[in-house]
Amino acid sequence: MTSALSQPECEAYIQSLRLIPDVLSVGSEKWMKQLQIIEKINAQAHHSVMYTQPEFVPDLFQTYHEKIPVLIQNILAVELWSTLVYPKIQPAILHKSPKASLILHHEAVLLNLLEVLFYHKECAIGASDSLTELADYCYRKVASLVVRRTTDWPLSKDIKREMNLSPQEALEQQKKDVEFRIENSALNVLRFIAEYINDCPLGVMDVVLVKGDLIQLLVELIQKKPWIRTKDGKAFKFEDLSWQEIPARDKLKVTKPEATVWFSLFFLCVDRNCQIKYQWDHHKSETVKKLLPFMTETLLDQLPPLTQLKNVIHTLGITQMPDSRSTSDFLKIQAISEIRVNLMKGQNWEKIAREQERLYFDISTAQLKKELKQFSQIYDNEVYEEAAEKAKCAKCGRPADKRCSQCKSVFYCSADCQRNHWSTHKYSCKKVEPTKQSQQQASMTASTSQQNTQKKVVIEEIDDEQEKKQTDNFDDVD
């Protein structure tokens, strides 16, 4: 399996990353070019993880660690744009360009890239003082997850409903979807920060334990479990950025988001330095003791380190705690977000919205065609298909890792499902075939003219008499 980017290409891309001057620049041509670069770097990072290839993206960010604060500054700028500028742009003008959709999605891409990078401790530490601002950002997102109604996120795509949405409604639905993904990614980033907290700048501990109370937020998450939903007697879990039905045999299995929360609590409550910084009192102690009913033998068997967390909570229960007291204002002042403050300083958000309408969104048809062509190139790469959300079986809807060898457009989980679906699929499969042939012929012609060698793909005619042969023949998705 080939990579999307070679290591020298990726290195050049990372070196080219730059801070953006202000929120007005979000959506500019220069900013959109950097968006494309970050999309490619993110895709390559996930590609390497998925196919257990050398992870040179984190290695390069360790070398050029000054570029990690660039990613964090971009996240904060897009967050400000989506909360303070986007609502002020006139809907009629906003939908003349696809930029708004890409900008909203870019915040999730940036955080998703940091998830991969922060798996490596050196990358997290390389963020230096900007890690304090990232911790503050993630804290805000987790706080939003605590109060969010998970019903805002549909369990499955309703194509008919989505086709009837107005452009404004479709964009708002996308914004809700993206926000939920961001909140879950922020939870993962905080888990890494909690693990490395003693090696982080001092301001990080202040942000999560003094300025904010991450421990109490995490306790509320364990109680609410927003990653679990039930509908029509069936249970669903949110994993890998999608809702999946929980099989009966896995009902007691800990989900990935829940394990992330438990390990974050473990790092923050067991660590001695965190215990001192947190300034435990009676109220905080009583809040954490609410976790005990959830710490069953089944949970401890799956996550053995939590036994130590349980012992710490029992110790708090028998220790005389002082009454609740306010924390020092001095410590709170130290945790102020400098990057975010600089991005907000002296800004007139209404004026920025009007300016962006004129510069970026109120475009002509010719400009729209140019933008669409430019944006299509962002995802015109095999690696994006591989890193995309896992396909569903066309017959039963389960996750599928095989597809029709004829048209390569329909996915199946097994040969039985393909056989049962053939009576329906054979008509669309034959319609797709000529298009596939013409595309391959054009590709072969272009390849010959460039004197490149490619493997010839042979497509055989399929008729009803060959049905048995076809339905037993599908390709694995590599």
Q: DSSP letters of 341-406?
A: HHHHTT--HHHHHHHHIIIIIS--HHHHHHHHHHHHHHS-SHHHHHHSPPPB-TTT-SB--EEETT
Residue 176: per-residue pLDDT: 84
Q: Compute the distance between CA of residue 435 and CA of residue 454 in angstroms, rounded to an integer.
A: 19
Q: Compare 188 and 402 and report the one with higher pLDDT.
A: 188
Q: Compare 70 and 411 and report the one with higher pLDDT.
A: 70
Query: Which residues, listed in sequence order, are joined to residue 228 by a DSSP beta bridge?
Result: 237
Q: Compute the distance between CA of residue 411 and CA of residue 404 in angstroms, rounded to an integer.
A: 6
Query: Which residues, listed in sequence order, are joined to residue 402 by a DSSP beta bridge?
Result: 412, 476
Least confidently predicted of 175-189, 204-218, 452-466? 452-466
- SS3 of residue 230 by DSSP: strand
Q: Compute the distance between CA of residue 401 and CA of residue 383 in angstroms, rounded to an integer.
A: 16
Q: By C-alpha distance, which of 173, 152, 181, 165 is closest to 389?
A: 181
Pairing of strands 402-404, 228-231: unpaired
Query: Which residues, listed in sequence order, are joined to residue 244 by a DSSP beta bridge?
Result: 237
Which residues are within 8 A (CB) of 172 and not within 5 positions of it... i.e. 6 or more apart?
none
To which H or E segment does residue 284 belong? Answer: helix 282-288
Instruction: Tell me the HSE value of 168 on the side-chain side, using a 13 A CA sphere.
Output: 7
Residue pLDDT, tens place only, 129-185: 999 999 999 999 999 988 876 665 666 666 667 677 777 778 888 888 888 889 999
In this prediction the pTM is 0.76
Q: Compute the distance between CA of residue 222 and CA of residue 239 in angstroms, rounded to an integer.
A: 16
**What number of helices (H) and strands (E) belong to the chain?**
24, 6
Query: CB count, 10 Å around CB of 315?
Result: 10
Residue 472: per-residue pLDDT: 47
To which H or E segment does residue 167 belong? Answer: helix 167-195
Residue pLDDT, tens place only, 94-127: 778 888 889 999 999 999 999 999 999 999 999 9
Residue pLDDT, tens place only, 296-341: 999 999 999 999 999 999 988 666 556 555 444 444 445 556 899 9
Cβ(321)–Cβ(285) under 8 Å?
Answer: yes
Residue pLDDT, tens place only, 412-437: 888 888 888 887 777 667 544 443 44
Q: What is the DSSP code (8-state) at residue 407?
A: T
Q: What is the DSSP code (8-state) at residue 235?
A: E
Residue 458: per-residue pLDDT: 33
The pair of structure tokens assigned to 387 is: 């890193």
User: Taking the mean position of all CA atoms in its chain, how far away is CA 122?
Assistant: 21
